[in-house]
Amino acid sequence: MKTIYYGHSCFSVELKGKTVLFDPFISGNEKARHIDIASINPDYILITHGHADHVADVLQIAQQSGATLVSNFEVINWFASQGYDKGHPMNHGGRWEFDFGTVQYVNAVHSSSMPDGSYGGNPGGFIITSNDDCIYVSGDTALTMDMKIFGEMNTIDTAFLCIGDNFTMGAVEAVTAAQWVKAGQVFGLHFDTFGYIEIDHAATLDLFAQKSMPFILPEIGKEYEL
């Protein structure tokens, strides 16, 4: 599964020939200055919640690509109110079969408001099953017992987990989250972008190594084969 990391919680995966982009926040990320937003043309944009550091570049990328937005009901309605109505609303626990795979919107423990302060529904994550790949994208979240259910009901190959602490779980909790969802490997997100979430790379790598959990600390702009 070809995966490109664009910084913070933004990355894309290729599933069944479709490009699926998550949580675009690039123009506001000082560390992602070398990323050319105009070159990102996904078929879908999946949005975990309404915070600006997850939606800032949704409109630009959607307008240039014609991508379908997938998120909770309130986030999709907000983008419709901004003039982009090509969206698919979901809510927690529900699944939908898209042409790139089956998506379930799942619980996250966090908050969600849109950049203008309007209600952003409840925050979530995604579990996507597509051919031989099953991925879990946590979104911004604390460690939560729900993750045990995700592990019971799915065979998750790669878990994309927030690890930056302060606003979300940190690496200590993310290691446990990885074990609870029974992940084959972990791809770290939501770290180093701002002062509040700067992490110690060596210590983070060591935490995952201690539990023998395969772990990728991605570089912005780099492509990975997962």
Residues engaged in binding Mn ion (CB under 5 A): 53, 140
Give 15 or 26: the residue with its C-beta nearer to Mn ion: 26
Among Mn ion, Ni ion, none, residue 192 binds (CB under 5-8 Å by kind): none
Give 89 or 120: the residue with its C-beta nearer to Ni ion: 120
| Interaction of residue 23 with Ni ion, rule CB under 5 A | no
Can you tell me the distance from the alpha carbon of 200 to that of 163, in angstroms, rounded to the nearest whole number?
11
Looking at residue 224, its amino acid is: Y
Give 14 or 173: the residue with its C-beta nearer to Mn ion: 173
Number of residues that bind Ni ion (CB under 5 A): 2
Beta carbon of residue 88, minimum distance to Mn ion (angstroms, whole number)? 22
What part of residues 48-67 is at the interface with Ni ion (CB under 5 A)? Answer: 51
Can you tell me the distance from the alpha carbon of 1 to that of 17, in angstroms, rounded to the nearest whole number?
10
What part of residues 168-197 is at the interface with Ni ion (CB under 5 A)? Answer: none
Give 43 or 140: the residue with its C-beta nearer to Mn ion: 140
Question: Distance between the two ends of the chain, CA-based, in angstroms?
Answer: 5
Sheet with 124-130: strands ordered across: 95-98, 101-107, 124-130, 133-137, 158-162, 185-189, 215-216
| Interaction of residue 8 with Ni ion, rule CB under 5 A | no
Beta carbon of residue 90, minimum distance to Ni ion (angstroms, whole number)? 18
From 46-54, 56-64, 170-178, 190-198, give the range in contact with Ni ion by CB under 5 A. Answer: 46-54
Give 14 or 74: the residue with its C-beta nearer to Mn ion: 74
Beta carbon of residue 150, minimum distance to Mn ion (angstroms, whole number)? 20
Can you tell me the distance from the alpha carbon of 104 to that of 198, in angstroms, rounded to the nearest whole number?
30
Sequence-distant (6+) residues with CB within 8 A of 195 are none
- Residue 65: helix, strand or coil by DSSP? helix
| Interaction of residue 140 with Ni ion, rule CB under 5 A | yes
Give 140 or 192: the residue with its C-beta nearer to Ni ion: 140
Can you tell me the distance from the alpha carbon of 123 to that of 141, in angstroms, rounded to the nearest whole number?
8
Among Ni ion, Mn ion, none, residue 23 binds (CB under 5-8 Å by kind): none
Task: For residue 4, give Cα distances in angstroms to 1, 19, 40, 68, 107.
Answer: 10, 10, 10, 19, 25
- Residue 57: helix, strand or coil by DSSP? coil
Residues that bind Ni ion (CB under 5 A): 51, 140
